């Protein structure tokens, strides 16, 4: 999903709409990308490359690849949204990111009225980041993505303890892509509220990456603080920071912070986008004051 402000172009390009917060009315046309299709474009004994239309639902294609006996997407199960916006965020969960199985994407540069294709390097992926959120923001529409899946000898990622605990609870001793997916789905359903039951935008904030010096200082004060070593520094769990700042379960009128997962801002009834955004700013200020860390929104603010 991107703003496109060039003459004759839509005011808003919409994917699945799951990773956005509308704070105002949209003036002009809204274009919904609804391109479907799944096509094998390369295959050998070990791997298969599949091109997906941008309008394909992400979780549905994850389940479909698992049904084919393919590995690579299992840790990314139950992430809301469509394939076309997956590269924008470089979606990730439980130790895996889209870039780990990404081959290329194609689409349209609206400002230059031309088609494009970008490979892994060209997309400039970072943590919940890509060229589509920076140099190409508001200038491109992704129409298809191509992903690499494994046929056997799957590289299973069990780094996150929650997955190991869930597998152990289910009595799984030899994990497969499918059992890992089942575990991820179970974990996410426990932690994240169902939008059909209570309005929410999923994980609202990015996990901050901070210098090792700051992380060590905070770790001395809070030995229980969850941290992960990543490229560029130390990643700290934003949900833990928000909870420690006293926001978990907070409610003010129709807006609040979810009682089970402090990363999630919720709309209990008729809150406006502006009210949710105001709560987000309050959370950001509070965490900065307590920890010296400035949280950033993961959702697109419109």
**Residues 1-30: pLDDT tens digits?**
444 444 456 666 655 555 665 656 767 767
Helix-strand-coil split of the chain, %, nearest 5: 30, 30, 45
* Distance in angstroms (rounded) separating the CA atoms of residues 163 and 33: 33
Show contacts of 67-71: CB within 8 Å, 24+ apart: 68/149, 69/151, 70/149, 70/150, 70/151, 70/177, 71/149, 71/150, 71/151, 71/154, 71/155, 71/156, 71/177
* Distance in angstroms (rounded) separating the CA atoms of residues 51 and 72: 14
Q: Is the pLDDT of residue 73 over 60?
A: yes
Q: Are 113 and 219 in contact (CB under 8 A)?
A: no
* Distance in angstroms (rounded) separating the CA atoms of residues 209 and 229: 9
Q: What's the predicted TM-score (pTM) here?
A: 0.73
Residue 203 annotated as catalytic = yes
Please count the CA atoms within 13 angstroms of the CA of 212 that sit on its side-chain side: 5
Q: Label the pairing between strands 20-21 and 300-301.
A: parallel
Domain extent at residue 271? 199-301
Sign of CA dihedral 289, 293, 294, 299: negative
Which of the residues 11, 38, 128, 282 is marked catalytic? 128
Exposed/middle/buried for 27, CB within 10 Å: 0-12, 13-18, 19+?
A: exposed
In this structure, are 16 and 91 located in the same domain?
yes
pLDDT score at 177: 95
Q: State phi, psi for 40 to the nearest 5 degrees.
A: -75, 125
Q: Provide the CATH number for the domain around residue 111.
A: 3.30.465.10
In this structure, are 127 and 266 located in the same domain?
no
For the stretch 118-164, pLDDT in tens is 999 999 998 888 999 889 988 899 999 999 999 999 999 887 768 88
Residue 109 annotated as catalytic = no
Q: Which residues lie closer than 8 Å to 153 by C-beta, 6 or more apart? A: 46
Question: Domain boundary at 111, 126, 150, which?
Answer: 150
Q: Is the pLDDT of residue 243 over 80?
A: yes
Q: Are 106 and 143 in contact (CB under 8 A)?
A: yes
Domain count, the chain: 2
For residue 265, is it within any domain?
yes
Over the chain, what is the mean pLDDT? 84
Q: Provide the CATH number for the domain around residue 252.
A: 3.90.78.10
For residue 194, is it within any domain?
no
For residue 190, is it within any domain?
no
How many Cβ atoms sit within 10 Å of the Cβ of residue 119?
11
For residue 157, is it within any domain?
no
**Span 82-99, mean pLDDT?**
92
Q: Are 248 and 257 in contact (CB under 8 A)?
A: yes
Cross-strand pairs, 40: 50
């Amino acid at each position: 999903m991107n703003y496109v402000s060039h003459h004759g172009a839509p005011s808003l390009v919409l994917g699945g709409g799951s990773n956005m917060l509308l704070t105002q009315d949209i003036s002009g046309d809204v274009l919904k990308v609804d391109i479907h299709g799944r096509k094998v474009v390369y295959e050998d004994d070990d791997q298969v490359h599949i091109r997906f239309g941008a309008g394909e639902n992400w979780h549905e294609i994850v389940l479909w690849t698992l049904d084919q006996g393919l590995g690579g997407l299992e840790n990314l199960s139950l992430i809301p949204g469509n394939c076309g916006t997956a590269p924008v965020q470089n979606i990730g969960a439980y130790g895996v990111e889209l870039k780990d199985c990404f081959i290329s994407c194609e689409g349209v540069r609206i400002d230059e009225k031309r088609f494009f294709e970008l490979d892994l390097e060209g997309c400039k992926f970072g943590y919940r980041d890509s060229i589509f959120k920076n140099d190409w923001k508001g200038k491109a529409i992704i129409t298809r993505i191509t992903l690499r899946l494994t046929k056997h000898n799957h590289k299973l990622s069990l780094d996150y303890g929650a997955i190991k605990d869930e597998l152990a609870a289910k009595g799984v001793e030899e994990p497969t892509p499918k059992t890992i997916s089942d575990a991820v789905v179970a974990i996410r359903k426990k932690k994240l509220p169902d939008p059909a039951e209570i309005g929410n935008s999923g994980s609202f904030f990015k996990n901050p990456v901070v210098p090792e010096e700051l992380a060590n200082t905070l770790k001395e004060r809070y030995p229980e603080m969850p941290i992960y070593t990543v490229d560029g520094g130390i990643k700290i769990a934003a949900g833990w920071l928000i909870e420690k700042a006293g926001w978990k379960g907070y409610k003010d009128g129709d807006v609040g912070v979810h009682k089970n997962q402090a990363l999630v801002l919720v709309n209990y009834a008729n809150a406006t986008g502006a009210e949710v955004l105001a709560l987000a700013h309050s959370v950001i200020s509070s965490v900065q004051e307590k920890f010296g860390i400035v949280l950033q929104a993961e959702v697109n603010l419109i």
